[in-house]
Chains A and B, each alone.
Chain A
Amino acid sequence: MSQFLLRRLLIAVPSLLGISLVLFTVLALAPGDPFSELATNPNVPPEVGLALRAKFGLDDPIYLRYLHWLVAMAQGDWGFSFVSRMNVDSLILQRLPTTLFVIGSSQVLALLIAIPVGVYAATRPYSLFDQIANVLAFIGFSLPTFFTGILFILIFSIRLDWLPFVYTTDIHATGVHWLIEEVRQAIMPVMVLGLFQAASMTRFVRSAMLDVIRLDYVTAARAKGLGQARVIVRHAMRNAMIPVVTLIALQIPAVFGGAIVTEQIFRIPGIGSLLITSILSNDTPVVMAVTFVFACLVVLFNLIADVLYGWLDPRITLR
């Protein structure tokens, strides 16, 4: 197992390097110049501007800039945000927990919906339950997150006035009240993202279960006299989850896309909304770092999926 993990980690390194190269090439072509403000400011003499450019290496050849950037990133020096006037790494660290909390709880919600519904639908294929679940799943992943977000605000905040539609990090309450407020403001964003994920996951789970449930070993388990619940959960589900893990891992980039939109709608102060604001204010170091953090998260989740894969199917770790 440890050898398998090591091999997976080594595979992740070139893809991270590839992603960083793609990002850097794209950003090197950026028309925005962080020092353009200095150049037009009459209080700053031109030689000071030029000295600053030289100091920050803006006039170096591109491969040198890439190498410098890569070394600095590896050392934890992520640059300075010209707009927020603080270090990029502390800015991102400040925002990252909120994003991970929203994404994590929506994934948990999606799994809690998708696994029972998908498994139950697969045990009764083409029944009324299966057909309704199938149509709802289709509707679920055809509704874009920005529209569900708006619908939720319209229904739960404006018509019913149950939930707040702006997310705040500084709630003026303590103890139980703080917890209640925290949960109340997280309900809508988590539902929007979770339901969107649950829709496609339900279809994955159903079709994977259908493939497994007809196999001979499942019939054999039934013939031994095991109960339906035990056969489904212990024998069929474990094998059905293997393709599901792969498909969920392939969905991860889409999850981050949904998170950016959700953060923007509900004004959640996470790294997704940070990306949008820094793109709009031409804050290159932040844009670069946030995009790279998203890429790292995708690679990390793929790694977790690989580990899960090895746990679900021990044969894979031997190869």
Chain B
Amino acid sequence: MDGLTLASPSAERRTYSPWRETWRRYRRHKLAVVGAFLLLALVAAVVLGPFLWRVAIDDIDFAATLQGPSLAHPFGTDDLGQDLLARMIYGGRISLAVGLAAMMVSVIVGTLIGALAGMSRGALGHALMWLTDLFLSLPQLPLLLLLIYLFRDGLKAVFGPEGGIFILVVLVIGGLRWMPVARLVRAQFLSLREKEFVEAARALGASQARQVIRHILPNALGPVIIAGTIDVAAAIIAESTLSFLGLGFPPDTPTWGRLLYDAKDYLDIAAHWALFPGGAIFIAVVSINFVGDGLRDALDARKVI
């Protein structure tokens, strides 16, 4: 009757709902909590910023070029006297949106391929894993540069200069980062599909689609959420790298990477111009990585905290 005493309400340890339990585990990782707050602050600043700081991003003022931080321009100005705070708020929207959208692409593609490979028992699974390994050994940045360069003009004509590049950057970054998710999902599926609860569902006559959607997938999501979080950071870095190399968004779109690219020739006289966008990329990426680390502690049910 040991099991009964543990489950009885008089037991010392209280039981929580799964979400509260997850939050309790997450809270114990101090830096993850700090990261979550930093991230929320950054998102709030980028979303609400344009309503509070009403300076145009392309307001040219030759009387105030390359100025350091001041009351009129808290983050200083660039070589055309444009306000850097306003430009960074605008660029932050693009960077975070690219990060989120590219993460969605990679998670959706990775989950689909991983689930197919995990459920099939024949040649399809092997072929998909060979494809995954092939993509893993592609040199990603060269290929990214190549694809952006080749297809930029075509998409620009259809969706406009910013929209076209946005779609292209998101699809290409997401399309080159799904492999870790696919591997994780496949590994989870291989072990979960043999578990008793899935067998029970099968015995009750559940179709394969129902087994996957209702029983296997929800249990495989933990590692996918963690990988997805890290993917947002990686996508932000990838987008900034493209912009920094001059092959990302059009020159008049101030993404954080583009601001750094423009600033790098003025390092000796206007260091603030490079430090603010670089610092913003760093804060976004480090806080997302810490959140991912906290989620790893919180979602891994085998780990006792």
Chain A contact residues, CB within 8 Å of chain B: 15, 18-19, 22-23, 26-27, 29-31, 135, 138-139, 141-144, 146-147, 150-151, 153-154, 158, 250, 253-254, 256-257, 260-261, 264-265, 275-276, 279-280, 287, 290-291, 294-295, 297-299, 302
Contacts and interface: CB of A to CB of B under 8 A. Distances in A.
B137 A295 contact: yes
Contact of A291 (B143, B246, B260): B143
A261 B263 CA distance: 16
Given A144-B241, A250-B136, A291 B289 contact: no
A135 B150 contact: no
Contact of A150 (B136, B233, B274): B274
Contact of A261 (B245, B274, B289): B245
B154 A275 contact: no
A142 B289 contact: yes
B247 A279 contact: yes
Contacts of A138: 31, 286, 289-290, 293
Contact of A295 (B138, B153, B290): B138
A150 B260 contact: yes
A-B interface, 8 closest residue pairs, ranked by CB to CB distance from nearest: A257-B141, A142-B286, A294-B139, A147-B278, A142-B285, A291-B142, A146-B244, A18-B134
Given A31-B153, A144-B285, A279-B247, A299 B137 contact: yes
A211 to B, nearest CB: 14
B139 A253 contact: yes
Contacts of A302: 137
Interface in B229-277: 233, 237, 240-241, 244-247, 257, 260, 263-264, 267-268, 271, 274-275
Contact of A144 (B153, B237, B274): B237
Given A158-B268, A295-B137, A299-B137, A31 B142 contact: no
A15 B137 contact: yes
A257 B177 CA distance: 14
B133 interface: yes
Contact of A151 (B237, B247, B278): B278
B244 A260 contact: no
Nearest to B236: A144
Given A142-B282, A144-B240, A146-B257, A31 B150 contact: yes
B220 interface: no
Contacts of A256: 139, 141-142
A147 B137 contact: no
Contacts of A290: 142
B165 interface: no
A154 B134 contact: no
Nearest to B144: A257
Given A147-B278, A291-B139, 13 more contacts: A19-B134, A29-B150, A31-B153, A142-B285, A146-B240, A150-B267, A151-B278, A154-B271, A279-B145, A298-B137, A298-B138, A299-B137, A302-B137
Given A144-B237, A150-B267, A275 B150 contact: no
Contacts of B151: 29
Interface string B190-227: 00000000000000000000000000000000000000
A304 B202 CA distance: 45
A146 to B, nearest CB: 5
Contacts of A153: 267
Contacts of B140: 253-254, 257
19 contacts: A18-B134, A26-B150, A138-B290, A141-B289, A142-B233, A142-B285, A142-B289, A144-B241, A144-B285, A147-B278, A150-B274, A151-B278, A256-B141, A276-B245, A280-B246, A287-B146, A291-B143, A295-B138, A298-B139
B281 interface: yes
A144 B281 contact: yes
B64 to A, nearest CB: 23
